[in-house]
Amino acid sequence: MPPMRSKSAVGLSRYSCHRYEIIMGTNKSPDKSDKVYRSTVHASTMLQNLNVLRQNSKFCDVEIVAGETVIKAHRSVLSASSPYFKAMFSTGLVEAERDRIEIHYVDPKVLTAIIDFIYSGEMALCQENVQDMIVAGDMLELKEVVHGCTEFLKNELHITNAVGIYRFAEDHNCIDLAKTASTFIENHYPLVAFEEEFCELPKELLCKFLDSELLKVDSEYQVFQSVMRWINYDVPSRKCYVFELLSHIRLPLISVSLLDQSITEASDASLKVALRSVRKDLVSKKGNLVPLLAYPRLCAKKTIFVIGGSKREMVSTWTRSLECTYDTVERFDCYTSKWYTGVNPMEIGRILPGVAALNGKIYVVGGEHECQILADGEAYDPLTNTWTKVASMVVPRCEFGLCAVEGDLFALGGWVGDDIGGSIERYDTVQDKWHLEGSLPEPRFSMGVVSYEGLIYIVGGCTHSRRHVQDLLRLDPATGECVSLAPMLEPRSQIGVAVLDGYLYVVGGINKDHDVLRSVERYSFEQNKWSQVGLLKVGRASPAVAAAGGYLYVLGGDQTHEVNFYRAQVTIASVERYDPAMNAWEDSAPLPESRSEAAAIVL
């Protein structure tokens, strides 16, 4: 440091100290402007000291009263924090002259918490006080209180309370909270519509949601069901709205068989008559009661992506060629029933990969490529038509289960090279990292895995002790608890699975006799019971299965080809669609190329 030269302090009091001339280094900037120092703790320290003064009744010049509660405070501090108090104390109002001011319509505990927040910047929020806090904060024009309460309610959004939070936000003009709650309802509409809060919606708000293009539904029938549930909640007073409400439903997208089912289930005679009138108008194509032309909602799940897989076709009796592993993706529009090109391929072909949809993207991980079991993954963004790399799993695996639960991906079991795997991994999308999260009760591969209402269901497959199993397991990823449920009617592996309208469907596969199956069975989540449904037109092993538009689609798969004692599995291109109301399968537009061991996902 440069030397300091002493200067005399002539004329200074005895409290003065010697001043020194500081010679700045010659290598410093010639800028002689003052430098500003800012303390990072001064403001908070001063606020803490002011709070201590208040708690000790020092220099307090006003008392704020709510009920029997009296809170001493400083006018200047209250005015600096709240435009409400500033106006009260500085614009000539009668309160400016009073030492005691009563605040009406605010609970004493809430007012105490708010004054504490003014002096500390902290407040304790819970379900019991947050609504009163946000109302009082708005009245007292404390933006930070309103913001804190709003963020708390956003984080508390759930299918059981989303409607209530939305109505509260609307009533109190909390625009940001109302928008967030509305988006939550649209994103989880089928589940929210089953809650009692939904049935208590005013008709006007119900119509607002029915008009939304952003309802994320599997089919328009789910929207129709929500309307019928709302009417049946109070039939005497609501049945008069049936035609008005159904005008907001895109009825041409709903099968007549499902309307017939609703007519049969209707308990009120006048409601039956109304629904029959709508059905007749729809079938006759008159368009007097319902529009004849309708398009799926913008966010309705209507596109099936078929990803990866393999192709094996017979050229002649003794020659099998045309074998390949697909890196391509086929896209099927359920509304037009047409296949479209244009989806960019993956970076690498994959047989039996794990595929799941999360946050509007399609994640594809693992699988097999040229006899190598893969651990890496990639994610497809349909908005940009691009693939990006994601972190590799801890364990390479194929023929495993992948599903999305509560914002995370879970990978379960599978074939891990030279053995059957039983480990479970969880993928954190924020950290882009996989973590081992326990294991299955028994290693398993070639099974079906789905998620439903926050739980994971594992059905069928192969284990060390059994080549084809029929059991069904339910895994709670939050606790790691795994319980056995009612077993399938027939043991099978290499199956296709999907969830539709509260049922888990298991399609095709191979049994213990190595027969390729036409049989299909479904499991009721509510009743814990299996039942047979209509047979496939052709048997399929390792098919891709997806639920969309109220139907179940089975796409491609393997069939056994046997000529002159030569038996081989060959891929097929045919697609079938199952109508639950008719309990029957019908042909749909076939795949552009035969494909098996692929995955199907709906967006």
- Span 213-220, average pLDDT: 90
% the chain with pLDDT above 90 = 75
Report the pLDDT value the prediction gives residue 4, as an integer from 0 to 100.
47
Query: Is residue 2 scored above 60 in pLDDT?
Result: no
Return the sign of the alpha-carbon dihedral for residues 533, 538, 541, 543. negative
Lowest mean pLDDT among 117-131, 277-291, 532-546: 277-291
pLDDT score at 29: 55
Residue 3: is its pLDDT beyond 80? Answer: no
Work out the pLDDT band at 120, boundaries 50, 70, 90.
Answer: very high
The confidence score (pLDDT) of residue 11 equals 47
Contacts of 306 (CB under 8 A, 6+ apart): 329, 330, 331, 332, 544, 555, 556, 591, 595, 598, 599, 600
pLDDT tens profile 297-342:
888 888 999 999 999 887 665 555 678 999 999 999 998 899 999 9
What is the pLDDT at residue 22?
67
User: What local confidence, expressed as pLDDT, does residue 137 receive?
Assistant: 94
- Domains, in order of start, for the chain: 41-156 (3.30.710.10), 303-602 (2.120.10.80)
Cα–Cα dist 226/248, whole Å: 12
pLDDT digits (tens, 9 = 90+) for 58-90: 999 999 999 899 999 999 999 999 999 999 998
- The vertex-377 CA angle with 507 and 469, nearest 5°, equals 30
Q: In which band, very low, low, confident or very high, does the pLDDT at 536 lie, cut at 50, 70 and 90?
A: very high
Three-class SS of 22-67: ECCCCCCCCCCCCCCCCCCCHHHHHHHHHHHHHHCCCCCCEEEEEC
Region 82-104: mean pLDDT is: 88
Q: Is the per-residue pLDDT at 7 higher than 50? A: no
> Per residue in 141-179, pLDDT tens?
999 999 999 999 999 999 999 999 999 999 999 999 999
Q: How confident is the model at residue 581 (pLDDT cuts 50, 70, 90)?
A: confident
Token pair of 128 as six digits: 């019991």
Alpha-carbon distance of 520 to 448, in angstroms, equals 13
Helix intervals (H) in 82-161: 83-90, 108-120, 130-139, 143-155
Q: Assess whether pLDDT exceeds 70 at residue 530.
A: yes
From residue 207, alpha-carbon distances to 30, 75, 238, 404, 594 in Å are 70, 48, 13, 31, 45
Q: Report the pLDDT value the prediction gives residue 569, as an integer from 0 to 100.
A: 84
Answer whether residue 398 shows pLDDT above 90: yes
Query: Are the beta carbons of 397 and 416 closer than 8 angstroms?
Result: yes
pLDDT exceeds 50 at position 564:
yes
Nearest alpha-carbon partner for 540 in 504, 589, 512, 507: 507
What's the confidence (pLDDT) of residue 299? Answer: 86
C-alpha to C-alpha distances, 278 to 249, 297, 407, nearest whole angstrom: 11, 21, 40
Give the separation between CA 195 and CA 182, rounded to whole angstroms. Answer: 15
pLDDT score, position 12:
44
Query: pTM above the 0.85 mark?
Result: no
Whole-number pLDDT of residue 6: 46
Q: What is the average pLDDT score of the chain?
A: 90
Separation between Cα atoms, residue 561 and residue 536, nearest integer Å:
18
Residue 8 pLDDT exceeds 50: no
* The pLDDT of residue 225 is above 70: yes
